[in-house]
Chain A
Amino acid sequence: MEKNVILSVRDLVVKFHVRDRILTAIRNISLDLYENETLAIVGESGSGKTVMTKTFTGMLESNGFIAGGKIFFEGRDLAAITSNKEWEKIRGIKIATVFQDPMSSLNPIRSIGSQITEVIKKHQGKDGTEAKQLAIDLMNRVGIPNAADRFNEYPFQYSGGMRQRIVIAIALACRPQILICDEPTTALDVTIQAQILQLIKDLQKEFHFTTIYITHDLGVVANVAQRVAVMYAGQIVEYGTAEEIFYSPKHPYTWALLSSLPQLGIKGERLYSIPGTPPSLFNEVKGDAFAPRNPYAIGIDFEEEPPFFQISQTHQAKTWLLDPRAPKVEPPVAIRDLHGRITAILKGQVSK
Chain B
Amino acid sequence: MEREVILSVRDLEVSFPKGKGRFIAVRDANFDIYKGETFALVGESGSGKTTIGRSIIRINPTSKGKIIFEGKVINEKLSAEEDRQVIKNIQMIFQDPATSLNERATIDYIISEGLVNFKMFKSQEERKAKVVKSLAEVGLLQEHVTRYPHEFSGGQRQRIGIARAMIMEPKLIIADEPISALDVSIRAQVLNLMKTLQEEKGLTYLFIAHDLSVVRFISDRIAVIHLGRIVELANTADLFLHPLHPYTRSLLSAVPMPDPISEKAKELMVYTENLHDYSVHQPSFVEIAPGHFVWANEPELEQYRELLK
Contact = CB atoms under 8 A, between A and B. Distances in A.
A342 B188 contact: no
Contact of B258 (A258, A273, A346): A258
A260 B256 contact: no
A109 B124 CA distance: 55
Contacts of B189: 273
Interface string B210-228: 1111101110000000000
Given A221-B258, A342-B258, A194 B217 contact: no
B185 A274 contact: yes
Contact of A222 (B183, B184, B211, B259): B259
A266 interface: yes
Interface in A122-152: none
B211 A190 contact: yes
A294 to B, nearest CB: 13
B215 to A, nearest CB: 9
Interface in A260-284: 260-267, 270-274, 277
A193 interface: yes
B262 interface: yes
A200 to B, nearest CB: 13
A263 B191 CA distance: 12
A223 interface: yes
A219 B217 contact: no
A271 B192 contact: yes
A41 interface: no
B217 A270 contact: no
A343 interface: yes
B185 A257 contact: yes
Given A190-B254, A193-B254, A219-B213, A267 B260 contact: no
Given A260-B188, A267-B236, A271-B191, A189 B262 contact: no
Nearest to A216: B184
A191 interface: yes
B280 interface: no
B80 interface: no
A270 B192 contact: yes
Given A191-B250, A271-B217, A273-B185, A220 B256 contact: yes
A223 B185 contact: no
Given A193-B254, A195-B268, A216-B184, A338 B259 contact: yes
A200 B255 CA distance: 17
A223 B256 contact: yes
A223 B271 CA distance: 20
Interface residues of B, number: 43
B268 A194 contact: yes
B188 A271 contact: yes
A52 interface: no
A191 B184 contact: no
Interface residues of A, number: 50
A213 B227 CA distance: 31
Interface centre among A219, A220, A263 (most CB of B within 10 A): A263
Contacts of A220: 256
B261 to A, nearest CB: 5
B92 interface: no
Given A190-B211, A191-B250, A223-B264, A262 B187 contact: yes
A256 B185 contact: yes
A339 B254 contact: no
Contacts of B186: 273
A218 interface: yes
B251 interface: yes
B271 to A, nearest CB: 7
B270 interface: yes
A258 B210 CA distance: 21
A346 B187 CA distance: 21
Given A222-B258, A339-B261, A262 B191 contact: yes
Interface in A37-75: 44-45
Interface of B: 44-45, 153, 179, 183-189, 191-192, 195, 210-214, 216-218, 236-237, 240-241, 250-251, 253-264, 268, 270-271
11 contacts: A160-B45, A194-B256, A197-B256, A222-B259, A260-B187, A262-B187, A262-B191, A265-B218, A271-B191, A273-B185, A343-B262
Interface of A: 44-45, 160, 189-195, 197-198, 216-223, 225, 242-243, 246-247, 256-258, 260-267, 270-274, 277, 338-339, 342-343, 345-348
Given A191-B254, A265-B217, A343-B262, 18 more contacts: A189-B44, A190-B256, A194-B256, A198-B268, A218-B184, A219-B257, A219-B263, A222-B256, A222-B258, A243-B261, A246-B259, A260-B184, A267-B218, A271-B192, A274-B185, A339-B261, A347-B241, A348-B237
User: Which 6 pairs show the lowest CB-CB distances between chains A and B?
Assistant: A219-B256, A265-B217, A273-B188, A271-B188, A260-B188, A194-B254
